[in-house]
Amino acid sequence: MLALRLLNVVAPAYFLCISLVTLALQLFLFLPSMRQDPAAARLFPPALLHGALFLFLSTNALGNYVLVIQNSPDDPDACQGPPARRAPCPPPSTHFCRVCARVTLRHDHHCFFTGNCIGSRNMRNFVLFCLYTSLACLYSMVAGVAYISAALSTSFAHPLAFLTLLPTSISQFFSGAVLGSEMFVILMLYLWFAIGLACAGFCCHQLLLIVRGQTRHQVRKGVAVRARPWRKNLQEVFGKRWLLGLLVPMFNVGGK
């Protein structure tokens, strides 16, 4: 239990460090390298478009990350009280989380990177957090590949060029042909690639469970769920204002 509680602190710190490093690389390396030739006038400079797109992705990723932490899953006590004042409750699926030391409704799993349980109130924010984190990482990888391609005069036209980049760069780094900043960017490329694929896979898996009306906790325990139309399952999690939630971070409105 002590190891899990320690991981609950280390994992969020790791995520925030990666976010700060990514932001620093975007501001001090990638954006300056995209400055256009003054002789070639364009309506939208590449640096402006890149900065706007990265700001959109990172704002949604970090915004939903904060909302996942703020919106802890409903406590069962919230479903008690007079019927006239009783709030609509999610389907009964309670679970006691030893890390959080509380009982949550519609429990899915405990996310160590947010240090919080994922349940009825923050499921939508968690899915969007995974989605935009994946997009931000993969987009940063593309920008980093463009930077390394220009800095080292390397072509990535061959499919295996990215796979052989790391071992080749390590030998060149010790020989002095590759700078320390360039080597750091190359290492970050593989980290962004791994995090981006992991978040994308987790997002797709979570969406599949939502469509089925299941949670990961129910799958692990073998709990049967009542069959419902997949549209109602999606609406229960993403709500009627789901399109607005894709554009800006907002609280989970459920099926309201």
Give the residue numbers annotated as catalytic, written as ranges.
111
The residues near 146 (Cβ < 8 Å, ≥ 6 apart) are: 30, 33
> For residues 90 and 120, is the Cβ–Cβ distance under 8 A?
yes
> Would you put residue 118 in left (φ > 0), alpha (ψ -120 to 50) or beta?
beta
The residues near 51 (Cβ < 8 Å, ≥ 6 apart) are: 26, 31
> For residues 214 and 229, is the Cβ–Cβ distance under 8 A?
no
User: Residue 167 in 3-state DSSP?
Assistant: helix
The residues near 144 (Cβ < 8 Å, ≥ 6 apart) are: 25, 30, 185, 188, 189, 192
